[in-house]
């Protein structure tokens, strides 16, 4: 494997890891506040559809981005109402959101565009283009550093850089700010937070809304950055993989980045090498494409060590009188 091939795989890794990273950070905020959310998949799917649909209709990707974020936030509010206000089962609420998004996106897409549940292909200003960093073309000829700068660091879409910046931002918010301290305390001991005169409901709703925002960015990237339009079930289980990455990362932002890059690397390898011969056996293309999902099963089976979630996670808070 030559240097150019390695660089191409790493470039694909960054692109494919971006929606996973945004969704993983979304789940991080929600679960740190004690609200388990397996509806990441549904929020990503809804955001992907509405961002692609509005971008196709208006020809403006920024309007599409706002529409995608709005759709995801609406579903996040629904999950918050079910889980926080009405103290319902958080897992059932998440499953319902996934089913709702999977059905509604195809139904509305068929009604609006009559293309079998997909949107028209996006082009031009209707999708995010690559951003070229300064001197990328001039430095490309420099051995090793030039190609890394021009192809791996430069040339990604706006949302890729937003996802990367979201990692240190999330770390600072959660572990260096007063808001983050309170948010983590709500996920561990909401009774103590309530006793201190801080609203548990407000903090949990804030975390749910942040989750909706980040899922909206992830879905919009899928449809307007990574691809050029919406197709049925295009999230392809990425929400569940993001949850597995969150467990793998033990609810920490920097570990989440590493976990998502690992999943992205496996997907990039699976996409590039359709058939690999190993010890005289040719691995089928289906096995290569299933690598991220196989790793998900391994992680959820508990082979990465003990991962302890927030103690109050998944439990509705009932205020003492």
Taking the domains of the chain in order of start, what are their residue ranges? 3-300
pLDDT of residue 169 exceeding 70: yes
Q: Could you give the CA distance from residue 7 to residue 149 in angstroms, rounded to a whole number?
A: 11
Rg (CA), the chain: 20
**pLDDT at site 94:** 95
3-300 fold:
ABC transporter involved in vitamin B12 uptake, BtuC (1.10.3470)
Q: Are 219 and 159 in contact, with CB atoms under 8 Å apart? A: no
User: Cα torsion at 216, 217, 222, 223 (round to 10°)?
Assistant: 70
pTM above 0.85? yes
Point out which residues pair with 277 in neighbouring strands. 282
Classify the C-alpha dihedral 58-63-65-68 as positive or negative.
negative
Strands 281-283, 276-278: pairing is antiparallel
Burial class (CB in 10 A: 0-12, 13-18, 19+), 242: buried
Q: Could you give the CA distance from residue 39 to residue 116 in angstroms, rounded to a whole number?
A: 25
**pLDDT at site 318:** 77
Backbone angles phi, psi at 120, to 5 degrees: -60, 155
Rounded average pLDDT over 252-277: 85
Residue found by looking up tokens 């971008």 in the block = 55
Shortest CA distance to 125 belongs to which of 212, 60, 182?
60
pLDDT tens-digit readout, 43-97: 999 999 999 999 999 999 999 999 999 999 999 999 999 999 999 999 999 999 9
- 3 state SS of 282: strand
Q: Could you give the CA distance from residue 53 to residue 60 in angstroms, rounded to a whole number?
A: 10
**pLDDT at site 232:** 93
pLDDT of residue 280 exceeding 70: no
**Higher local confidence (pLDDT), 308 or 251:** 251
- 3 state SS of 111: helix
pLDDT tens-digit readout, 9-24: 999 999 999 999 999 9
pLDDT of residue 303 exceeding 60: no
Q: Could you give the CA distance from residue 264 to residue 277 in angstroms, rounded to a whole number?
A: 22
Rounded average pLDDT over 247-251: 89
pLDDT tens-digit readout, 173-216: 999 999 999 999 999 999 999 988 899 999 999 999 999 999 99
* Ranges assigned E (strand) in 199-273: none
List Cβ neighbours of 136 (8 Å cut-off, separation of 6 or more).
Answer: 149, 150, 154, 155
**pLDDT at site 304:** 58
**pLDDT at site 181:** 95
pLDDT tens-digit readout, 91-141: 999 999 999 999 999 999 999 999 988 999 999 999 999 998 887 777 777
| Banded pLDDT at 281 (limits 50, 70, 90) | low
Q: Could you give the CA distance from residue 92 to residue 164 in angstroms, rounded to a whole number?
A: 31
| Banded pLDDT at 143 (limits 50, 70, 90) | confident
Q: How far, in Å, are 56, 106, 115 from residue 112 at the CA level?
A: 11, 10, 9
Q: How far, in Å, are 69, 167, 202, 203 from residue 80 at the CA level?
A: 16, 24, 11, 11
Question: Which secondary-structure segment (H or E) carries 206?
Answer: helix 200-221
């Amino acid at each position: 494997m030559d240097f150019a091939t390695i660089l191409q795989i790493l470039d694909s890794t960054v692109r494919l890891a971006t929606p996973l990273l945004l969704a993983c950070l979304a789940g991080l905020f929600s679960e740190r506040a004690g609200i388990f959310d397996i509806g990441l998949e549904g929020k990503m799917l809804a955001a992907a559809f509405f961002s692609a649909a509005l971008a196709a209709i208006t020809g403006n990707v920024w309007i599409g981005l706002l529409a995608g974020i709005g759709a995801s936030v609406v579903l996040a509010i629904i999950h918050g109402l079910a889980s926080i206000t009405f103290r319902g089962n958080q897992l059932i609420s998440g499953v319902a959101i996934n089913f709702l998004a999977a059905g509604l996106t195809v139904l509305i897409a068929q009604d609006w565009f009559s293309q079998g549940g997909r949107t028209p292909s996006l082009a031009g200003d209707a999708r995010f283009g690559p951003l070229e960093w300064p001197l990328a073309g001039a430095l490309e000829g420099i051995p090793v550093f030039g190609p890394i700068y021009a192809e791996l660091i430069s040339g990604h879409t706006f949302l890729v850089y937003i996802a990367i910046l979201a990692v240190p931002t999330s770390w600072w918010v959660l572990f260096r700010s007063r808001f983050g301290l309170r948010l983590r305390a709500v996920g561990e001991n909401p009774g103590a937070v309530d006793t201190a005169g801080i609203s548990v409901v407000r903090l949990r709703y804030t975390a749910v809304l942040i989750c909706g925002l980040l899922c909206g960015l992830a879905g919009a990237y899928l449809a307007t950055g990574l691809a050029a339009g919406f197709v049925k079930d295009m999230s392809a289980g990425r929400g569940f993989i993001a949850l597995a990455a969150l467990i793998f990362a033990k609810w920490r932002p920097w570990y989440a980045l590493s976990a998502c890059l690992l999943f992205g690397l496996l997907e990039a390898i699976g996409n590039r090498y359709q058939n690999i011969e190993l010890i005289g056996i040719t691995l089928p293309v289906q096995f290569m494409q299933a690598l991220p999902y196989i790793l998900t099963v391994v992680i959820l089976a508990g082979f990465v060590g003990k991962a302890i979630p927030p103690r109050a996670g998944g439990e509705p808070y009932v205020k003492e009188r």
